């Protein structure tokens, strides 16, 4: 029976043994589709989460940056795990275990109160200050075009339409704030009715509205009451019409192409549905299917 420790590189195992001598794996939380290994371990009577990145991943570096620069509004409230050890070079980090169950798959996933809490938490992250980036929109356009140049199953006529639309977009300066990058119930914990946040491997400076995209494509689409509750917690909606449309197109393309590459058929189908919906909208703002 494997524990997950065998997925760590020899230098990672050596460093972990220095940080947490004689640690015992209690549970393997690894997702499986990406190279990051996530282990719940015990050491000297305490519980920790160990995350180890693969050779080509940048998730651990991003996560360490988030822990060291952006998470205090959450950790001060006990709403995110506290960093104990970390090495960007080794692609390894250790946080204190945060109790709770994933909101996704629990009874709380349909509870507006959970989304109200999540909105308040996200506002704390975004509210730490903004920087202006004149080149953000151009870089994101290039990233989306690069996805379209890689293997995927997006129809050729749809690719042609997407390329033409992206080429016509304006590229105004963007206000960037600290964002989570994967803001959805699979990265929220709930314990005694209180919502907390995990997984910062996609954290980066982006427009605030990008953290609404996963929810808009999934939970808000399924139940508009969840969106109302979320905004009640978050505050003013940051989704400006034209910028929001660009965000939705980029997310749809990235979802379909990335999911195809990793073999996640369900997520790939969601990406194709997202492309259909965003192209069927006016292109100038949100529509009721978002």
What share of the chain in percent tops pLDDT 90?
90
| Structural domain spans, the chain | 5-97, 102-280
Span 246-254, mean pLDDT? Answer: 98
Give the residue among 103, 100, 97, 102 at the shortest CA–CA distance from 116. 103
pLDDT tens, residue by residue, 173-229: 999 999 999 999 999 999 999 999 999 999 999 999 999 999 999 999 999 999 999
CB contact at 8 A, 62 and 93:
no
CATH of region 102-280:
3.90.1200.10
Checking if the pLDDT of 287 tops 70, the result is no
Reported confidence tier of residue 33, pLDDT bands at 50, 70, 90: low
The listed CATH number (2.170.270, 3.90.550, 3.30.200, 1.10.3470) that belongs to domain 5-97: 3.30.200
Q: Report d(CA 241, CA 39) in Å as an integer.
A: 41
With H, G, I as helix, E, B as strand and everything else as coil, classify residue 206.
strand
pLDDT tens, residue by residue, 51-66: 999 877 789 999 999 9
Give the residue among 89, 146, 80, 111 at the shortest CA–CA distance from 229. 111
User: What does the angle CA 56 – CA 185 – CA 222 come to, to the nearest 5 degrees?
Assistant: 120
């Amino acid at each position: 029976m494997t524990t997950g420790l065998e997925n760590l590189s020899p230098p990672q195992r050596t460093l972990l043994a220095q940080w947490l001598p004689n640690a015992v794996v209690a549970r393997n939380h690894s997702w499986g589709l990406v190279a990051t290994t996530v282990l719940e371990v015990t050491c000297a009577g305490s519980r920790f989460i160990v995350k180890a990145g693969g050779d080509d991943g940048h998730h651990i570096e991003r996560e360490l940056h988030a822990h060291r620069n952006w998470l205090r509004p959450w950790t001060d409230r006990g709403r995110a795990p506290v960093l104990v050890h970390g090495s960007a070079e080794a692609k390894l980090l250790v946080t204190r275990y945060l109790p709770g169950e994933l909101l996704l798959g629990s009874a709380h996933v349909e509870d507006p109160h959970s989304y109200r809490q999540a909105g308040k938490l996200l506002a704390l992250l975004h509210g730490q200050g903004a920087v202006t980036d004149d080149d953000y929109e151009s870089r994101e356009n290039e990233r989306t075009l690069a996805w379209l140049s890689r293997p995927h199953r997006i129809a050729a006529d749809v690719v042609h339409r997407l390329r033409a639309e992206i080429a016509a977009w304006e590229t105004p300066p963007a206000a960037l704030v600290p964002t989570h990058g994967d803001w959805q119930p699979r990265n929220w914990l709930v314990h005694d009715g209180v919502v907390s946040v995990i997984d910062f491997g996609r954290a980066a400076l982006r427009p605030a509205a990008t953290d609404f995209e996963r929810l808009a494509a999934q939970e808000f689409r399924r139940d508009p009451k969840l969106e109302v509750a979320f905004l009640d917690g978050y505050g003013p909606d940051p989704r400006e019409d034209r910028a929001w449309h660009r965000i939705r197109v980029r997310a749809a393309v990235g979802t379909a192409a990335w999911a195809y590459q990793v073999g996640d058929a369900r997520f790939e189908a969601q990406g194709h549905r997202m492309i259909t919906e965003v192209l069927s909208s006016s292109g100038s703002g949100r529509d009721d299917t978002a």
